[in-house]
Amino acid sequence: MTTTVWTRDDLRLEVEQELRELLARSESAAESYGPEFARLWALASNHVGRGKLVRPLLLLETYDALRAASAPSPIRSETVRIAAAIEVLHYSFLLHDDVIDGDLFRRGRLNLIGELGEASPCVSRPGDGRHWAQTGGILAGDLMLSCAHQLFARADLPVEQRIRLLDLLEHTVFETTAGEFVDVGLSDGLIGPDLATVLAMTGRKTATYSFELPLRAAAILAGASLELEQRLREAGWYLGLAYQLQDDLLSTFGDAEVHGKDAFSDLREGKQTAIVCFARLCGEWSGIETELSEAAYSIAAAQSVRRRLRACGAEAFVQNLVSDQMTAFRNLLANESEIIPDGVQRVLLALQARLDGRAS
Amino acid sequence: MTTTVWTRDDLRLEVEQELRELLARSESAAESYGPEFARLWALASNHVGRGKLVRPLLLLETYDALRAASAPSPIRSETVRIAAAIEVLHYSFLLHDDVIDGDLFRRGRLNLIGELGEASPCVSRPGDGRHWAQTGGILAGDLMLSCAHQLFARADLPVEQRIRLLDLLEHTVFETTAGEFVDVGLSDGLIGPDLATVLAMTGRKTATYSFELPLRAAAILAGASLELEQRLREAGWYLGLAYQLQDDLLSTFGDAEVHGKDAFSDLREGKQTAIVCFARLCGEWSGIETELSEAAYSIAAAQSVRRRLRACGAEAFVQNLVSDQMTAFRNLLANESEIIPDGVQRVLLALQARLDGRAS
């Protein structure tokens, strides 16, 4: 038996092809419901593959490391499908997130909602093109959420593995939804923004589905022990929390040209990040607060808030939080080297190295 | 072996208990994410059971008729669970429908979004309580959609039956979503309102999941032939289309005190029903159109539109469409009496009789 060594680019191609095939299966059904719905499906199919595929690649690399030999096998095919399903799930969360935040851009380009809105020239009543586009965002998100569940439900695996994957999916959807609900409650001023609440939300809305889910799914698919799955969950939490805190730093202090989001969108939306939490405890808070309320309307105010947040130490505070996660992550690897195999450690360390250098 | 004869009330209690149990399983998980998310879950759990349970009862009655003896059995337990799952799916559609339409009432009482909005007194910025409530509607809909899929995915059935049920669920979600998307496109003036498009949308957004789904699921669970499943699908389409056309009639001409929806909400939202489609072809249309555009702001205008729609024959036209569906349904039963067993015919005829007399 020859074993294949898959590069990241090979894995990416594998996931892209799987995504294309599974979305193409519903294309003719979509067309039977008229040109508008066919277009919605085509847009969703097109946008879902635009990401960096971080989550499916993490799943496949971890699975291959656990199976040591990465020769094609029936279970590996199922693993590629679950990897694709996780990308579809991710996209369903992004879509509803964009609807909730009223965002029209993603990765520096129009998102699905933005494209739907642009292509609605014959609007009969003012504002209705926007409503139609938001509706498309909600419904496309539903289709993607349903699709992800269908892929998990159909996994051709022994029943015990299938149920473990379904339990993991259930937990993930629950926790991610809770994180998003608290995030919006904090932004809208309905939940008090203490640091513990903000940090729990920060992890739940991202770490759970972006890091824990692919790592734990890889463990389940590779037939690993519950103990290893639990360690991977912890590793995923540390890296995922670090990732989201970096995201907050980039959104506030980074270069919009590079990270591709709306400049200052977090500040404009009143997002309660760990950055703002820290600033609230500073002597300069009242001035920052006044400018924050103007940041929705004025770029100058947003730029000034940014300077003040840096000056009061909020940026350094959150950079330290990121370092804390990275340290906890490295300690976990060092202490659990008997449980976490070398190959998986290498995958995790390479992931950490990519996070350390990220600017987008 | 004794066989039990279940009354509709028995079946209702069975479904209610199943719903309570399955939603209670996630209660403590919800509480671990803080009081706000616990409240969201509690509200969703409370509201999901408020309906008339038309869909689960139709599934169970049809299943019991097909199995002739309705003694408890492992497959019957799975059937009760799928019946509950269909109610959860229904509720997920209602939630996103209400978000899309901006509705705060359902069955004459505040819906989940309305209740969330009422309970947000400490809003820091104007309008944010509404945004938080809409967010809750989107996320609770996601949780319910996910829950329905989980229940289908975990059905403890032979693989062929489980896959048939998953195919049915996939088709249903796709078609219902397409119906809703076209419905909103018609209302927002982005899709031309010809009668064929409006009738297809009318069936897809309701008949598919409310009638075809429970009937076909019953056939699959009872191990019936594909031929019978197909006939039940047709029967479901006729009754479902009749039901939605009746709904349109009630929303426009019925007594809001009795049917429990916002009075004139269809007219205010510019819904493109078969009623409006017919009126568009009448000589009186330009007068009706002017008043329709005012119906969003004036009850007097809405009442006048109602009188004019009646006078131009639109009400009678749609009543005839309902009769056409009922005739097609009775012909189907008569022509397919060899395929559709007597017991199932009785269930379907009783359902038709309830539709004939409905005022809400």
Residue type, B27: E
Closest chain B C-alpha to A263 CA, distance in angstroms: 22
Domains B1-156 and B158-360 share a fold: yes
Dist CA B4 CA A96 (whole Å): 46
- Give the containing element (helix H, strand E) for B230: helix B226-253
What pLDDT was estimated at residue A120?
58
B171: closest chain A residue by CA: A29
Output the CA angle A177-A179-A182, nearest 5 degrees. Answer: 105
Q: Is A334 on the interface with B (CB under 8 A)?
A: no
Written as tens digits, the pLDDT of chain B (360 aa) is: 445 667 899 999 999 999 999 999 999 999 999 999 999 999 999 999 888 999 999 999 999 999 975 566 789 999 999 999 999 999 999 999 999 999 898 878 899 999 998 865 544 455 668 999 999 999 999 999 999 999 999 999 999 999 999 999 999 999 999 999 999 999 998 999 999 999 999 999 999 999 999 999 999 999 999 999 999 999 999 999 999 999 999 999 988 777 777 678 888 888 999 999 999 998 889 889 888 888 777 888 888 999 999 999 999 999 999 999 999 999 999 999 999 999 999 999 999 999 997 877
With bands split at pLDDT 50, 70 and 90, how would you rate the model's confidence at A256?
confident
The DSSP result for B29-43, as a single string, is HHHTT-HHHHHHHHH
Closest chain B C-alpha to A66 CA, distance in angstroms: 27
Contacts with A, B 24-63, CB within 8 Å? 26, 29-30, 33-34, 36-37, 40
Dist CA B288 CA B290 (whole Å): 5
Residues of B in contact with A190 (CB under 8 A): 36, 120, 122-124, 128-129, 132
For all residues of chain A together, what is the average pLDDT? 91
**Superfamily, domain B1-156:** Farnesyl Diphosphate Synthase (1.10.600.10)
Residue-wise pLDDT for A142-164, tens only, equals 999 999 999 999 999 999 999 99
**A167: burial class by Cβ within 10 Å (0-12, 13-18, 19+)?**
middle
With bands split at pLDDT 50, 70 and 90, how would you rate the model's confidence at A100?
very high
The DSSP result for B65-95, as a single string, is HHHSS----HHHHHHHHHHHHHHHHHHHHHH
Dist CA A184 CA B128 (whole Å): 10
Residue-wise pLDDT for B246-269, tens only, equals 999 999 998 877 777 767 888 888
Closest chain B C-alpha to A5 CA, distance in angstroms: 34
What pLDDT was estimated at residue B331?
98
Residues of A in contact with B92 (CB under 8 A): 142
Q: Domain-by-domain residue ranges, chain B? A: 1-156, 158-360
Please check whether residue A360 is in contact with residue A250, taking contact to mean a CB–CB distance below 8 angstroms: yes
Res. A124: pLDDT tops 90: no
How far CA B283 is from CA of B275, B287, B303, B308, in Å, comes to 15, 9, 19, 11
Pick the residue of A181, A194, A204, A289 with the most B CBs within 10 A to test the interface with B by mutation. Answer: A181
Domain spanning A159-360: CATH 1.10.600.10: yes
Contacts with B, A 176-235, CB within 8 Å? 177-182, 184-185, 188-191, 197, 204
Q: Phi and psi for A106 in degrees, rounded to 5? A: -155, 130
Higher per-residue confidence, A336 vs B128: A336
Closest CA to B98 of A53, A138, A347: A138
**A123: burial class by Cβ within 10 Å (0-12, 13-18, 19+)?**
middle
Q: Is A119 on the interface with B (CB under 8 A)?
A: no
Nearest CB neighbour to A150, from listed B141, B166, B177: B166
Are B96 and A142 a contacting pair at CB < 8 A? yes
Are B184 and A120 a contacting pair at CB < 8 A? no
Pick the residue of B23, B32, B37 with the most A CBs within 10 A to test the interface with A by mutation. Answer: B37
Contacts of B17 (CB under 8 A, 6+ apart): none
Are A36 and B191 a contacting pair at CB < 8 A? yes
Q: Is A81 on the interface with B (CB under 8 A)?
A: no
A133: closest chain B residue by CA: B185
What pLDDT was estimated at residue A343?
95
Residue length of chain A? 360
Nearest CB neighbour to A150, from listed B122, B170, B270: B170
Dist CA A320 CA A339 (whole Å): 28
- Strands A109-110 and A105-106, by their bridges, are antiparallel
**A230: burial class by Cβ within 10 Å (0-12, 13-18, 19+)?**
middle
How is residue A25 written in tokens? 């299966």
Could you tell me which residues are beta bridge partners of residue B109?
Answer: B106
Could you tell me which residues are beta bridge partners of residue A292?
Answer: none
| CA A80, A83, A88, A91 torsion-angle sign | negative
Q: Which residues of B21-40 are buried (b: 16+ CB within 10 A; e: fewer)?
A: ebbeebeebbeebbebbbbb
- The single-letter DSSP state of residue B193 is -
What pLDDT was estimated at residue B71?
60
In angstroms, how far apart are the furthest CA atoms of chain B?
68
Closest chain A C-alpha to B49 CA, distance in angstroms: 20
Residues of B in contact with A123 (CB under 8 A): 188-190
Residues of A in contact with B135 (CB under 8 A): 100, 180-181, 184
Please check whether residue A168 is in contact with residue A153, taking contact to mean a CB–CB distance below 8 angstroms: no
Q: Is B19 helix (H, G, I), strand (E, B) or coil?
A: helix
Closest CA to A115 of A100, A96, A136, A94: A136
Closest CA to A182 of A202, A208, A163: A202
Are B178 and A204 a contacting pair at CB < 8 A? no
Pick the residue of B22, B45, B142 with the most A CBs within 10 A to test the interface with A by mutation. Answer: B142
B124: closest chain A residue by CA: A189
Residue-wise pLDDT for B114-150, tens only, equals 999 886 554 445 566 899 999 999 999 999 999 999 9
Nearest CB neighbour to B146, from listed A149, A163, A188: A149
Please check whether residue B176 is in contact with residue B209, taking contact to mean a CB–CB distance below 8 angstroms: yes
Are B142 and A173 a contacting pair at CB < 8 A? yes
Contacts with B, A 94-113, CB within 8 Å? 96, 99-100
How is residue B145 written in tokens? 């959609």
Higher per-residue confidence, A262 vs A41: A41
CATH number for the domain running over B158-360: 1.10.600.10
Half-sphere exposure of A355 (CA within 13 A, CB side): 27
Residue tagged 């005739």 (tokens): B327
Contacts of A69 (CB under 8 A, 6+ apart): A1, A3
What pLDDT was estimated at residue A90?
98
Residues of A in contact with B29 (CB under 8 A): 171, 174
What pLDDT was estimated at residue A202?
95
What pLDDT was estimated at residue B66?
94
Pick the residue of B25, B27, B31, B33 with the most A CBs within 10 A to test the interface with A by mutation. Answer: B33
Are B185 and A132 a contacting pair at CB < 8 A? yes
Are B96 and A143 a contacting pair at CB < 8 A? no
